Amino acid sequence: MQKQETLTKNQKIILDLIEKSDQPLKAYSILFDVKKKGINAPLQVYRALKKLVKIGKIHKIESRNAFIACKNSKCQIAKATVFSICESCEDVTEIHDHKLSEHLRDFKDNKGMKYSKYNLEFFGICKKCV
Amino acid sequence: MQKQETLTKNQKIILDLIEKSDQPLKAYSILFDVKKKGINAPLQVYRALKKLVKIGKIHKIESRNAFIACKNSKCQIAKATVFSICESCEDVTEIHDHKLSEHLRDFKDNKGMKYSKYNLEFFGICKKCV
DNA sequence: AACGCTGTGTAATAATATAACATATTTAAG
DNA sequence: CTTAAATATGTTATATTATTACACAGCGTT
């Protein structure tokens, strides 16, 4: 399992930025923010994001095309993610629910397909926005 | 609840196309296919897709930016979707599992947020690709 | 008839993401 | 140590996905 120490310069810069935000960041907003650090092209951002997703440091919120840091130290691989998304303020929170995770991990469809990964996004209106 | 009969010409053309495919179609591939029917611009496709998603006739596969018809007559609103996606051949199947649906429908996070919708995508390797 | 709502058609552009190429750095094996 | 493989970099160009803005049409309501 790859540790943060082994991340490259670009990967560190981008992970730092995402970790400082408690909300998902979009690739081109990241690009804008890291230009002062010498990262000039979209591809440099996307390459770092791809790696960070792969090692589980960040997750992609598929319905929003945005990236958020994973705060769960156990979650070292991006294979099982659950998010809560407010459709009004767009606030995103990662959900860790043992029972739900168990249920999803053990889920088998009727074709017997084995799943190595899942992504679940819940949508609603958060307390602040009600 | 809106019935298919009330769909407009563009909406019908695009729904027909998606229903004929058992796999998700991308917006620009749809555009290409319906040009012969007089639909010329991306926006015409996206507008129809938006409506069809809203009334539950089709679903968007968020991780693939593609659209698939909903074969479940009960599923008239795009509020609760579960898909199986093969990461090798990209085959996508909608999953209807009563127990899982129940579990997800009843899920409440520890902040007491109420969810009106969810989207779950399972990833793995299908039987053909193993 | 005037309004609100929904849809249409068109042009332009924004936002998201990858291909292709040349080069550098790190890692592991011989 | 050196060679090969794997991974990362920097840059340019381009592909793909999606929306804004504007003018107007059709329909049901009041």
Q: Report chain A residues whose CB lies below 8 A from the CB of B119.
A: 63, 120-121, 123
d(CA A33, nearest CA chain B) in Å: 25
DSSP string, A43-100: HHHHHHHHHHHHTTSEEEETTTTEEEE---TT--STTEEEEEEETTT--EEE---HHH
Nearest protein residue by Cα to C1' of nucleotide D18: B46
Which of A121, A77, A78 is closest to B61 using CA atoms?
A121
Spatial distance between the Cα atoms of A92 and B19, rounded to a whole number of angstroms = 33
Determine whether the interchain pair A109/B95 forms a contact, defined as Cβ–Cβ distance below 8 Å.
Answer: yes
Backbone angles phi, psi at B85, to 5 degrees: -125, 125
CATH architecture of the domain covering B80-129: 2-Layer Sandwich (3.30)
User: Along the 130 residues of chain B, how does pLDDT read in single tens digits?
Assistant: 334 458 999 999 999 999 999 999 999 999 999 999 999 999 999 999 999 999 999 999 999 999 999 987 666 566 899 999 999 999 999 999 999 999 999 898 877 787 889 999 999 999 888 8
**Is 60 exceeded by the pLDDT of residue A130?**
yes
pLDDT of residue A7: 93
Lowest mean pLDDT among A17-21, A111-115, B116-120: A111-115
pLDDT of residue B73: 64
Report residue B45 as tokens. 């496709």
Select from B84, B110, B114 the Cβ nearest to the Cβ of A124: B114
CB B125 within 8 A of CB A100: no
Pairwise pLDDT comparison (A102 vs A29), residue with the higher score = A29
Q: Chain C bases under 7 Å from protein CB? A: 7-13, 15-20, 27
Select from B103, B122, B123 the Cβ nearest to the Cβ of A103: B103
What does the domain layout of chain B look like in residue ranges?
A: 4-69, 80-129
Which of A59, A53, A51, A9 is closest to A34 using CA atoms?
A9
CB B66 within 8 A of CB B53: no
Instruction: Give B4-69's CATH code, choosing from 3.40.50.1010, 3.40.50.720, 1.10.10.10, 3.40.1190.20.
Output: 1.10.10.10
pLDDT range class, residue A76, cuts 50, 70, 90: low
